[in-house]
Amino acid sequence: MKPSNLRLLVLSIEFPPGPGGLGTLAYQISHCLAQWGWQVAVATPQSHITNQEIEAFNNLQSFEITRFSFKGLAIFEGLNRLFITLQLIRSHRPDVILTIGWQSVWLGSLITLVTNIPYAAVGAGTEFLVLSRVERPMTRWAYQHAALVIFISQYTRKLAQSHGFNFSKDTIISLGADEDIFKPDLPTTNLRQELKLTDSRVILTVGQVSERKAQDVVIKALPSILHDFPNAFYLIVGLPTNEAKLERLANELGVADHIHFTGMVPKSDLPLFYNLADIFVMVSRRTEVGEVEGFGIAVVEAGLCGKPAIVSNDSGLVDAVVPEVTALVVDPEDPEMTAAAIKHLLADDQLRQEMGAVARQHALEKATWRQQMKKFDHHLRNLVETN
């Protein structure tokens, strides 16, 4: 890697140790570029985790993290973040700014107006839909004036274009996963015993328990799955936002004994959960308010662990797989089609193993963080050199 003394400011809407795919992306950019010689500073909220865990995590990093706090009213929060970021600009003197999430691109565009520092904006999908009449023109203007827009999938680029967003320059850099952490053949005996899944066929979803992640679609598919595979079990890992609602649905359908909500699990344990599974399922939907799945880091993690997936179309999840080769693709909001796909893979051990092996190879060749971070490094360097 070419040595660097360049300075980067990352503005993100989320960051580890809390959950969230965009936070994971922000961390990987900050961590990898800091290792490659960039002077990195991060300004971000850190949510859904204790202050003690946040402090312990931040103290381990080789780059500076400034935490945004929540101030209640949006106007006060926005002004506070603008003030803090301007202070960071004075102390860190970045050569380029990278914004991740639509609130951050507003902030980045305002900072650039004042300082003329170029900024690149990551386009993740939801920000092109979940906007009020006031927010939409502001967001369109902010993205249009970015020196570079980096989309995380073909799907998100098409989504932005179809909703009237224009860009002076754009590229696609998809998300990834760590092949040193997520790998097959990890021991799962103790976890199986702990979860009482010794003889179960395990269906796994990893992600916030939410309307967008659509765990309810898989729960609705379970009666049909259990008819053919009585030992099937649905394991749901992630922040339990909508857990109570889904528990009621499971009880109504009589499948509650075949579902387990783990809540958030330590990141060090996630590879074991993937290894435990027979099939990874993520059938995310576009919600009524416009939230979408821009990519699918969890699908890549599952693939690196040698697991085939079932994903929904009309989402960025399709960009994370090779349809019919590493994953089966179903319509969102279709429990019957989802059930048929799950049963098809559970019924064919050879097909499931072959698809899992190809999924791992595909992820190793196309979707590791090392590969994707080299692309971020290249494009951010170019922005500094050409501005």
pLDDT 10s digits, 88-132: 999 999 999 999 988 899 999 999 998 999 999 999 988 888 667
Range of the domain at 29: 7-176+368-386
Mean pLDDT throughout 186-203?
95
Q: Is the residue at 110 inside a domain? A: yes
Residues 333 and 380 in one domain: no
Question: Does residue 341 sit within a domain?
Answer: yes
Angle made by CA atoms 272, 277, 279, in degrees to the nearest 5 = 140
Question: Do 343 and 332 belong to one domain?
Answer: yes
Do 22 and 160 fall within a single domain?
yes
Same domain? For 153 and 288 the reply is no
* Counted domains in the chain: 2
Is residue 32 assigned to a domain? yes
153, 280: one domain: no
> Do residue 205 and residue 132 come from a single domain?
no
The answer to whether residue 181 sits within a structural domain is no
Q: Note whether 218 and 329 are same-domain residues.
A: yes
pTM above threshold 0.95: no
pLDDT mean across residues, the chain:
94
- Tell whether 182 is covered by a domain: no
Q: What is the pLDDT of residues 49-80, one digit of tens each?
A: 899 999 999 999 999 999 998 766 777 788 88
DSSP code of residue 130? S
Tell me if 1 is assigned to some domain: no
Instruction: Note the pLDDT of residue 103.
Output: 85
Q: What is the CATH number of the domain that holds 355?
A: 3.40.50.2000
Question: Confidence class of residue 42 from pLDDT cuts 50, 70 and 90?
Answer: very high
Amino acid 351: pLDDT: 97
Question: In this model, does residue 279 exceed pLDDT 60?
Answer: yes
> Is 183 a member of any domain?
no
Query: Residue 84: how many CB atoms within 10 A of its CB?
Result: 16
Separation between Cα atoms, residue 251 and residue 259, nearest integer Å? 10
pLDDT above 80 (res 23): yes
Do 119 and 202 belong together in one domain? Answer: no
Q: Which residue has the higher pLDDT, 152 or 138?
A: 152
Distance, in Å, from the CA atom of 297 to the CA atom of 289, rounded to the nearest integer, reads 22
Q: Looking at the structure, do residues 275 and 319 belong to the same domain, yes or no?
A: yes
pLDDT tens-digit profile of 209-247? 999 999 999 999 999 999 999 999 999 999 999 999 999
| Burial group, residue 31, by CB count within 10 angstroms (0-12, 13-18, 19+) | middle
Question: Is 94 a domain residue?
Answer: yes
Average pLDDT over residues 151-178: 93
Residues 115 and 205 in one domain: no
Indicate the helix (H) or strand (E) that contains 136: helix 135-144
Q: Are residues 302 and 346 in the same domain?
A: yes
CA-wise closest residue to 122 among 193, 185, 214, 29: 29
